[in-house]
Amino acid sequence: MAQRGVEICCSVVSGRLLRRQPLPLIAASSAYVACRENGTPVTIKELAAEAHADPKELGRCYRLIRDGLQISVPAPNGTTYAWRVASKISASEEAANLSVETVRRAVAKGLGDRNPMTLAAAAVYAACLANGEAVNQSDVAEAAGVSVTALRGCAKQIWPILAGLAPDRDHS
């Protein structure tokens, strides 16, 4: 994957695609393109923090590179993010598996247009509660890098998907 990032960066620089952008921003954006191509679960915010770059500028450069080099990248997948969030909060393997399945079902029911990290966080939160694990919204939201409000709103849409798994629990 690192090699692909270097290839993309060299193509951008040699093709003069982003003439007035600093090289570290081009390199970080190229790395993000390579991550997206490879299906590696990394967010623009995370990469921007590591590269000491503005997330909006990084996202803009990413789109310019993607479109300028005509690279087709798959949409972010919430299932890979669900694994990451579950491991960050030390959720059980059962809860992690349930959260991945929940994301799959949620996407199938039309919730795929949500932020994939928010969807993953809501699925992990709901799966943990359905599995009887004590978690709170703020810990899950922090682990996912999303707001508690976004998590809560998405979790309300997730509960009907898990309704059959824990009908006697209050999930509000």
Q: pLDDT of 5-47, one tens digit each?
A: 889 888 888 888 888 888 899 999 999 999 888 888 888 888 9
Q: Is 150 helix (H, G, I), strand (E, B) or coil?
A: helix
**Distance separating alpha carbons of residues 15 and 164, to the nearest angstrom:** 55
Angle, nearest 10°, between helix axes 78-88 and 116-130?
A: 50
Closest CA to 82 of 135, 129, 41: 41
pLDDT in tens, 136-152: 999 999 999 999 999 99
Residue 57: helix, strand or coil by DSSP?
helix
Supply the pLDDT for residue 164: 53
Domains and CATH numbers, the chain: 2-68 (1.10.472.10), 78-162 (1.10.472.10)
Global confidence as pTM? 0.73
Residue 166 has pLDDT above 70, yes or no: no
The pLDDT of residue 172 is above 60: no
